[in-house]
Amino acid sequence: MHKVLIIDDDIELAGLFQEYLTQEGFTVDVNHTGASGLQNALSGAYQLVILDIMLPDIKGTEILTRIRLESRVPVLMFTAKGDDVDRIIGLESGADDYVPKPCTPRELVARIRAILRRTQSSAALSQGPIETGPLKLWPEKRKAGWFDQDLDLTSTEFNLLETLASQVGRIVSKNELSEKALGRPLARFDRSIDVHMSSIRQKLGNQPDGRSYIQTVRGQGYQLIKE
């Protein structure tokens, strides 16, 4: 049974989602302040955190940044409906995905299960590490290495890099990346993949000639350079 933490100051809405998720087989705790939510998010007791971007005491993005300093727990953010700025800021801060408010409990459950499914499926299917050039991935441990150094990735970043590494040298479409890394089809005008890829590129750095290890192929997708 997966444990989920909801951090949201909207008592009525958080209670609604808690009740629905409980009926769907999850164990759910709720915190209504950022301070208490941050403490629990870092406890290691939860498989996923749902975090509202607007909280009265600490901004959701600040909480997310502090979580990412210590934990790779998947984080699903509540963002304002139609506010692309909130979504991008959340993703850039290390969120794995987002759900715009208001949303239906059914959509929330679908997003949660998609993240958890991707987190667990690679480990279940893995027969060993994936190695290509300086990159080494251990799906069963959700661990990544880059030039023999630990590579700190969020859950979704790991999924994306794993997808590219398993097809190194091949162009992988954004839709395929969205399906495999986020567990959902790519929506029109959705920039989630682009934002996650930008973060991965920053963590990998550039090749000696200045080129990125991950190439954008306009109109087609992304490609991990084969060395």
Quickly state the pLDDT bin for 122 (edges 50, 70, 90). Answer: low
Q: Are 111 and 130 part of one and the same domain?
A: no
Quickly state the pLDDT bin for 85 (edges 50, 70, 90). Answer: confident
CA-closest candidate to residue 200, choices 115, 141, 108, 135:
135
Q: Are 155 and 200 part of one and the same domain?
A: yes
Task: Give the Cα separation of 173 and 71 in Å (integer).
Answer: 29
Counting the structural domains of the chain, the total is 2
Residue 123 has pLDDT above 70, yes or no: no
Quickly state the pLDDT bin for 112 (edges 50, 70, 90). Answer: very high
Range of the domain at 140: 126-224
Q: Are 83 and 166 part of one and the same domain?
A: no
Q: Are 60 and 166 part of one and the same domain?
A: no
Final residue before a domain boundary, out of 87, 118, 149: 118
Mean of pLDDT over the chain: 90
Secondary-structure percent of the chain, ordered helix, strand, coil, rounded to 5: 40, 20, 35
Q: Are 80 and 135 part of one and the same domain?
A: no
Q: Are 75 and 138 part of one and the same domain?
A: no
Q: Are 145 and 215 part of one and the same domain?
A: yes
State the pTM of this model. 0.80
Q: Are 13 and 111 part of one and the same domain?
A: yes
**Domain containing 33 — which CATH number?**
3.40.50.2300
Q: Are 168 and 210 part of one and the same domain?
A: yes
pLDDT at position 183: 82
What's the burial of 193, exposed, middle or buried (CB within 10 Å: 0-12/13-18/19+)? buried
Residue 150 contacts residue 42 (beta carbons within 8 Å): no
Q: Are 100 and 201 part of one and the same domain?
A: no
Task: Give the Cα separation of 157 and 143 in Å (integer).
Answer: 11
Q: Are 131 and 103 part of one and the same domain?
A: no
